[in-house]
Amino acid sequence: MPDDSKAIVHRARAVHGVVRIPGDKSISHRYALLAGIAEGTSRFQNFSSARDCQNTLDCMARLGCEWKRSAGEDDYGAIEVRGIGPRLNAPAKVLDCGNSGSTMRMLSGILAGQPFTSELCGDESLSRRPMARIINPLSEMGASIEASEGGRPPLKIHGGQLKPIHYRPEVASAQVKSCVLFAGLFAEGETVVEEPIRTRDHGEIALQAFGAEVERKGKVSRIRGGQRLRAIEAHVPGDLSSAAFFLCAAALFPGSQVTLPGILMNPTRARLLDILIQMGLQVSVAHLEEHQGELIGTIEARGSEWKGGTIAGADTAALIDEIPVLAAIAAYSEAGLEVRDGKELRVKESDRIAAVVANLRKMGAQIEERPDGMKIPGGQHLHGAELDSFGDHRIAMAFAVSALRAEGETTILDADAAGVSYPRFFEELRSVAS
């Protein structure tokens, strides 16, 4: 729901400092969901502070899996989740997923395998988002799902024993893949997901961490039904998609430098770093470690000439969450930015193509809008303006970064939207920009 929160951002000259980025949102959702259906109590450090992940935890609590901040821990992000095994409790109320598409889509995979009916709802933005992409495979597996017109939320899921399927999703979506693999735990036999483009593999890695066998070969993932999960202890890597805002802020000012410790380096996400390097950011990664199958490293980035470039094909899918910030800073680059094959951007928390185009135009930029992308010429000078977040966390943060190079002052309306993935974002940005 839009609120009257505002953030004012002034032009900066440089960006310097160390930022501790909160835990990865994609991994935190999956840990919360799988911990709930595991046996025993799981403990997590650096669990995401995102509102979206709180929604997942609260939905799981309604299904009988209590969670709490770990006793005696003042460390932010230390939580424990009590797993109750594969059979959850029927919820007394509707499960409110808030703004979180990940919660609704992935939780549906688990609910499809439960012997009861559950209802899931979301906020205005989530109520517009497409759910046919999970309704179709889950229905094929035997669940019966009611939705609003056009396959939109709210959803009513009548779950039960599922049949395994070999699913070839039309859209490249890690949420859909995880949804079907999670449902596969409740099917008799082997469920297979064969993707058009390889997407992030946190679902597969998390399932393995909780003790399930998942076979993976390229774009094909397989899981056998009936496997029991065991509680784990895990440290959630810092969210690379949140780190992207600080990396792009450094990219705006030659000589700027940011250090981001403990960031997720999973290869299905880290394509972002290659693209940033191609576009002119100097990046080095140190202290590589592995936690529960996920790679973590410390990123050091220095701003240099910002060149820009093209994002298309598999790169668009791999960078889908970072495109708003790359586009928001593209007008300052030498060559500009062209984004192709990004139809999915139109069905995120907002229509991210329309939102970027509207805000850049308010800042005085030239931009060409296309059905599946945009083209932003480089070498432009932008001015501050009153911008809308469109209730979308990534749009709020992307334009706060762009505002650092704009002439004058920028106001971001409904700035609190940032809390969907990064509640302390504006404080952290202010602490590094001078």
Residues that bind ligand S3P (CB under 6 A): 26, 102, 173-175, 200, 320-321
Q: Least distance (Å) from ligand S3P to the CB of residue 58?
A: 18
- Of 84 and 354, nearer to ligand S3P (C-beta) is 354
Task: Give the C-alpha distances (Å, rounded to integers) separating 400 from 23, 387, 405, 426, 428.
Answer: 21, 10, 10, 8, 12
- Of 11 and 216, nearer to ligand S3P (C-beta) is 216
Torsion on CA atoms 230, 231, 237, 240, rounded to nearest 10 = 60
- Of 101 and 336, nearer to ligand S3P (C-beta) is 101
Is the CB of residue 400 less than 8 Å from the CB of residue 7?
A: yes
Measured in whole angstroms, the distance separating CA 129 from the mean position of its chain's CA atoms is 15
- Of 127 and 161, nearer to ligand S3P (C-beta) is 127
Q: Least distance (Å) from ligand S3P to the CB of residue 254?
A: 31
Q: Least distance (Å) from ligand S3P to the CB of residue 50?
A: 10
Closest C-alpha to 148, from 125, 133, 129: 129
Element housing 81 (H / E): strand 79-84
Q: Least distance (Å) from ligand S3P to the CB of residue 132?
A: 13
Closest C-alpha to 84, from 70, 105, 67: 67
- Of 181 and 382, nearer to ligand S3P (C-beta) is 181
Q: Least distance (Å) from ligand S3P to the CB of residue 302?
A: 28
Is the CB of residue 236 less than 8 Å from the CB of residue 27?
A: yes
Is the CB of residue 405 less than 8 Å from the CB of residue 252?
A: yes
Measured in whole angstroms, the distance separating CA 396 from the mean position of its chain's CA atoms is 15
Q: Least distance (Å) from ligand S3P to the CB of residue 105?
A: 7
Is the CB of residue 153 less than 8 Å from the CB of residue 177?
A: no
- Of 200 and 235, nearer to ligand S3P (C-beta) is 200
**Distance between CA atoms of 85 and 39, rounded to whole angstroms?**
5
Cβ count near 40 (within 10 Å): 15
**Distance between CA atoms of 198 and 340, rounded to whole angstroms?**
18
Which of 24, 321, 392, 414 is the catalytic position?
321
Q: Least distance (Å) from ligand S3P to the CB of residue 193?
A: 12
Element housing 387 (H / E): strand 386-388
Element housing 398 (H / E): helix 393-403
Token code pair at residue 10: 């002034």
Element housing 296 (H / E): strand 294-302
Does 315 participate in catalysis according to the annotation? no
- Catalytic site positions: 321
